[in-house]
Amino acid sequence: FAPKKKLLSATIKFGFVSLMIYTFVLITAIMVTYMVKFNSASTKGYEVVRLEVDRQKLILKTEQQELMMSEAKSIASLKDRAVIRRMVKSNTPMYMRLDTAMAKAD
């Protein structure tokens, strides 16, 4: 009777309970990975929405400032300013006449 040869490779024996535990751990790891990815994607979505709301607010503020600037530059607003209201209308304007008799060099 010859002795049995030892195999170099180790044999792995799984019982039913061990297989269920390993399967549960694997499924849990996959679910956690999925939830982390999904959560980061939804967080980015909320961030995009928040940034768009901020952008709309800034656009509205810019439009209001442009309206205020155009109002300040309008003629009606210029007429209502204190400096303009203190001006007096001249009854007889005096114009300057230019001397047309100038010597010409030939």
User: Where in the chain are the domains?
Assistant: 16-85
Band of the pLDDT at 11, cuts 50, 70, 90? low
pLDDT of 62 reads: 96
- State the chain's mean pLDDT as an integer: 82
pLDDT of 38 reads: 85
Higher pLDDT, 38 or 61: 61
Query: Above 90 in pLDDT, residue 77?
Result: no
Query: Above 80 in pLDDT, residue 56?
Result: yes
C-alpha to C-alpha distance for 14 and 3, rounded to whole angstroms: 27
> Looking at residues 52-81, what average pLDDT do you find?
88
C-alpha to C-alpha distance for 85 and 106, rounded to whole angstroms: 53
pLDDT of 4 reads: 67
Q: How many helices (H) and strands (E) does the chain have?
A: 3, 0
State pLDDT tens for residues 27-52: 999 999 999 888 887 788 888 889 99
C-alpha to C-alpha distance for 31 and 25, rounded to whole angstroms: 10
C-alpha to C-alpha distance for 20 and 24, rounded to whole angstroms: 6
